[in-house]
């Protein structure tokens, strides 16, 4: 929707099209009189709610508002041709914060809107967790809304792909203001959608009848399988940007008056009076009826309960029990054929895809004969078809963003980011969309997915093929993180990640893909391991080394060498860092009375610092020596072998630190 900017909007003909869609513009006579009166009433209801919410703010009852006023006509028109409901078989809606009239037109009540405004416990959008106008109505297929401008585009695209996959005739509504069209997510989504023959239309969004014609034509075009439509609706913004704004500071009185002259509600009311569908007195009575309904809803909402403080940490993760019969290392036949880690990952993907048809795999170069740059996805396209293993554009934000829509609509996406170093364009989707998806919707919505990410150094990869990212994402509530160190663990943890009800960042160390040290006998079919359960990779009594990923193998090598010196080292391999098995760490430290934490990432503010802090908090009185860390230097990873070796932890670094801790 065009009209959130500051400049005056030039008026356009009521409808324009690129010629790919035929449009018949209706007149008031083409609608039932009762429907038109009801649509005008809903538009009035939206406007009155805007006004009431601003009043509540002035009274100190509310805290924030961002209005819909001026957008009502086009939203009402689009809703007329939409099919809300819960789950597949209905249309999907990816709102932005000015879609109040759309929400009301689809079925949200004034009471529900005011529960959200006052952040009450029974707010159906978020249970008071989100700011007002951050819609999320599961029963209407309105996806939980993120504040981030433009974050809805790629999830919306994912919903659309899910519709195609199911061969349904539903459509996805994705809305935004003109400011969002400067965001990269908008252009990434448009780029991917353009593969499907994107059509373009423009309409006067303050004219209900023109908007209805455009909406009907656009939505039918989509339902007929002719591809997506970009509909630009010229509207006006009759309120400041938000309750924190004063638009008289940057808009002239003439501009504001010009917008008021094309108020969509006034235009709709005038059209109905002109056609004899409504009298002026009836319009005034309708306004009074709406005012009373909103006032009553506001008084009712004020009396409802606030969220209980003890629930503030609920809904970060799925709290139920997964239907998984977990294995243990004892289930592995030691005489089974050896397997390297990358083949274990491939085997897990094949077994899970055969087990569950909802699983789809995609990313850059993962499909076909290539099977990914490390061959982790080889043969998946041949075995399961192009609909279940396919390539994406080279756009990490799109990969993870579309996975949100796929997951929320019932698929299980397993996506690959080719290198951890290139995950940063997807930070918007990961941090503000994926991770808090469950929390911000009060567990009404979830987006379980697996994001496979090759990471780590020791491969002569330089600055942009060597990064470790766990410390940053470990600080992101709602995201689980696994870092396997062996082939068997990779297979078992990946299968569990795929069956999880939460999004999982699955970090795979590139140097372990084919490393002999990470090779294990092939685990049985459908081998699964629980998250949050560390592995005692080596038992000992004199020193605890806490580690994960590539550093597990280095630590085991050091432990063997220390044994020759008469020191019995216990190695705790975390397997997952979110959730973190703190109890196993503490039990080991209480037994050995010494702790060395080893990790590849930068020592400065690395994840190992959290482990040290927990040991210091909960096992300090058991320590016979200071806690030590061995980790990477606080520098990018250089390309030359001599430089790379200088900044990444070596066996010698770990050995020296271990000796120091034992000798203290």
* Helix residue ranges per DSSP H, 133-205: 153-166, 184-194
Q: Which tens digit of pLDDT belongs to each residue from 550-603?
A: 999 999 999 999 999 999 999 999 999 999 999 999 999 999 999 999 999 999
Q: What's residue 17's pLDDT? A: 75
Q: Which helix (H) or strand (E) holds 560?
A: helix 550-564
Place of tokens 């009433």: 41
Q: Is pLDDT of 246 > 70?
A: yes
Q: What's residue 467's pLDDT? A: 96
Measured CA angle at 340 (ends 336, 343), to 5 deg: 95
| CATH homologous superfamily for the domain 15-304 | Thiamin diphosphate (ThDP)-binding fold, Pyr/PP domains (3.40.50.970)
Q: 24 falls in which pLDDT band (50, 70, 90)?
A: confident
Q: 196 falls in which pLDDT band (50, 70, 90)?
A: confident
CA distance linking residue 312 with residue 119, whole number of Å: 13
Task: Decide if 15-304 and 535-663 have a common fold.
Answer: yes
Q: Is pLDDT of 395 > 50?
A: yes
Residue range 17-46: average pLDDT? 87
Q: Which tens digit of pLDDT belongs to each residue from 524-556?
A: 999 999 999 999 999 999 999 999 999 999 999
Closest to 599 measured CA to CA, from 483, 465, 493, 464: 483
Assess contact for 500 and 318: CB atoms under 8 A: yes
- In sequence order, what DSSP letters do the residues of 85-114 get, joined into one string? -SSTTS-EEE--TT-HHHHHHHT--HHHHH
Q: Is pLDDT of 182 > 60?
A: yes
Is 315 tagged catalytic? no
Q: What's residue 30's pLDDT? A: 82
- Average pLDDT of every residue of the chain: 95
Q: 513 falls in which pLDDT band (50, 70, 90)?
A: very high
CA distance linking residue 285 with residue 430, whole number of Å: 49
| CATH 3.30.70.3280 describes domain 535-663 | no
Q: Is pLDDT of 104 > 90?
A: yes
Assess contact for 213 and 26: CB atoms under 8 A: yes
Q: Which tens digit of pLDDT belongs to each residue from 437-472?
A: 999 999 999 999 999 999 999 999 999 999 999 999
Residue range 500-526: average pLDDT? 98
Residue range 241-250: average pLDDT? 92
Q: Which helix (H) or strand (E) holds 16?
A: strand 15-17
CA distance linking residue 422 with residue 155, whole number of Å: 20
Q: Is pLDDT of 209 > 70?
A: yes
Q: What's residue 1's pLDDT? A: 54
Catalytic residue among 465, 509, 526, 641: 465
Q: Is pLDDT of 7 > 50?
A: no
Q: What's residue 332's pLDDT? A: 94
Q: What's residue 13's pLDDT? A: 55
Burial class (CB in 10 A: 0-12, 13-18, 19+), 505: buried
Q: Is pLDDT of 516 > 70?
A: yes
- In sequence order, what DSSP letters do the residues of 368-399 get, joined into one string? TTT-STTSTTTTHHHHH-TTTEEE--S-HHHH
Q: What's residue 26's pLDDT? A: 67
Q: Is pLDDT of 11 > 70?
A: no
| Most distant CA atoms of the chain, gap in Å | 99
Q: Which tens digit of pLDDT belongs to each residue from 419-437?
A: 999 999 999 999 999 999 9
The answer, yes or no, to whether the previous bond of 86 is cis (omega within 30 of 0) is: no
Q: Which tens digit of pLDDT belongs to each residue from 548-559?
A: 999 999 999 999
- Classified as helix, coil or strand, 148 is coil
Q: Which helix (H) or strand (E) holds 280?
A: helix 280-302
Q: Is pLDDT of 22 > 80?
A: no
* Fold of the domain spanning 329-521: Rossmann fold (3.40.50)
CA distance linking residue 588 with residue 592, whole number of Å: 6
Q: What's residue 194's pLDDT? A: 83
Taking the CB of residue 621, how many other CB atoms lie within 10 A of it? 6
Residue spans per domain, the chain = 15-304, 329-521, 535-663
Q: What's residue 167's pLDDT? A: 95
Q: Which tens digit of pLDDT belongs to each residue from 309-365?
A: 999 999 999 999 999 999 998 999 999 999 999 999 999 999 999 999 999 999 999
Question: For a pLDDT cut of 70, what percent of the chain falls above it?
Answer: 98
Measured CA angle at 483 (ends 481, 489), to 5 deg: 115
Q: Is pLDDT of 374 > 60?
A: yes
Alpha-carbon separation of residue 648 from 466, 551, 643, 661 (angstroms):
10, 10, 9, 20
């Amino acid at each position: 929707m065009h009209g959130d900017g500051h400049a005056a909007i030039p008026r356009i003909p009521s409808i324009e099209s690129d010629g790919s869609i035929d449009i018949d513009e209706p007149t008031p006579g083409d609608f039932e009189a009762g429907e038109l009166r009801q649509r005008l009433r809903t538009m009035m209801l939206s406007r009155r709610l805007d006004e009431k919410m601003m009043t509540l703010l002035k009274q100190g009852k509310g805290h924030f508002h961002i209005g819909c006023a001026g957008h009502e006509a086009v939203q009402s028109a689009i809703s007329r041709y939409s099919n809300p409901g819960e789950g597949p078989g209905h249309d999907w809606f990816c709102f932005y914060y000015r879609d109040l009239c759309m929400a009301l037109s689809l079925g949200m009540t004034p009471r529900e809107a005011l529960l959200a405004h006052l952040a009450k416990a029974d707010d159906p959008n978020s249970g008071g967790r989100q700011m007002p106008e951050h819609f999320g109505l599961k029963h209407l297929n309105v996806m939980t809304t993120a504040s981030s401008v433009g974050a809805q585009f790629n999830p919306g695209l994912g919903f659309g792909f899910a519709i195609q996959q199911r061969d349904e005739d539903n459509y996805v509504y994705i809305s935004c203001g003109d400011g969002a069209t400067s965001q990269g997510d908008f252009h990434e989504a448009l780029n991917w959608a353009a593969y499907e023959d994107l059509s373009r239309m423009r309409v006067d969004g303050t004219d209900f009848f023109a908007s209805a014609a455009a909406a009907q034509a656009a939505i039918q075009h989509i339902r007929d399988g002719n591809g997506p439509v970009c509909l630009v609706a010229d509207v006006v913004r009759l309120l400041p940007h938000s309750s924190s704004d004063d638009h008289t500071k940057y808009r002239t009185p003439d501009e504001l008056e010009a917008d008021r002259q094309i108020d969509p509600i006034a235009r709709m009311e005038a059209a109905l009076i002109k056609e004899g569908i409504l009298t002026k007195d009836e319009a005034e009575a309708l306004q009074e009826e709406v005012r009373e309904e909103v006032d009553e809803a506001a008084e009712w909402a004020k009396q409802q309960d606030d969220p209980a403080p003890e629930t503030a940490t609920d809904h970060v993760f799925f709290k139920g029990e997964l239907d998984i019969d977990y294995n243990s290392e004892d289930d592995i036949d030691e005489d089974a054929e050896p397997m390297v880690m990358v083949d274990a990952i491939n085997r897990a993907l094949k077994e899970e895809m055969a087990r569950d048809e909802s699983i789809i795999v995609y990313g850059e170069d993962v499909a076909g004969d290539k099977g990914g740059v490390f061959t982790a996805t080889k043969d998946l396209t041949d075995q399961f078809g192009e609909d279940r293993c396919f390539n994406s554009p080279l756009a990490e934000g799109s990969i993870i963003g579309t996975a949100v829509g796929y997951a929320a609509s019932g698929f299980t996406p397993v996506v690959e980011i080719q290198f951890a170093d290139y995950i940063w364009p997807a930070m918007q989707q990961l941090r503000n969309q994926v991770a808090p998806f469950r929390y911000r919707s009060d567990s009404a919505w979830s987006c379980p997915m697996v994001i496979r990410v090759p990471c780590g150094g020791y491969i002569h990869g330089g600055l942009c093929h060597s990064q470790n990212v766990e410390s940053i994402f470990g600080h992101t509530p709602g995201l689980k993180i696994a870092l396997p160190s062996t082939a068997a663990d990779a297979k078992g943890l990946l299968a569990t990640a795929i069956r999880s009800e939460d999004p999982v960042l699955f970090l795979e160390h590139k140097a372990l893909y084919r490393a002999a040290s990470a090779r294990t006998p092939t685990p049985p079919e459908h081998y699964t391991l629980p998250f949050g359960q560390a592995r005692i990779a080596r038992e000992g009594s004199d020193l605890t080394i806490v580690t994960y990923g590539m550093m597990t193998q280095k630590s085991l090598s050091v432990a063997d060498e220390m044994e020759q010196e008469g020191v019995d080292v216990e190695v705790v391999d975390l397997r997952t860092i979110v959730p973190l098995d703190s109890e196993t760490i503490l039990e080991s430290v209480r037994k050995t009375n010494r702790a060395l934490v080893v990790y590849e990432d930068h020592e400065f503010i690395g994840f190992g610092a959290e482990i040290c802090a927990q040991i210091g908090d909960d096992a300090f009185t058991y320590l016979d020596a200071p806690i030590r860390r061995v980790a990477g230097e606080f520098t990018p990873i250089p390309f030359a072998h001599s430089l790379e070796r200088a900044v990444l932890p070596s066996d010698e670094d770990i050995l020296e630190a271990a000796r120091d801790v034992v000798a203290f």
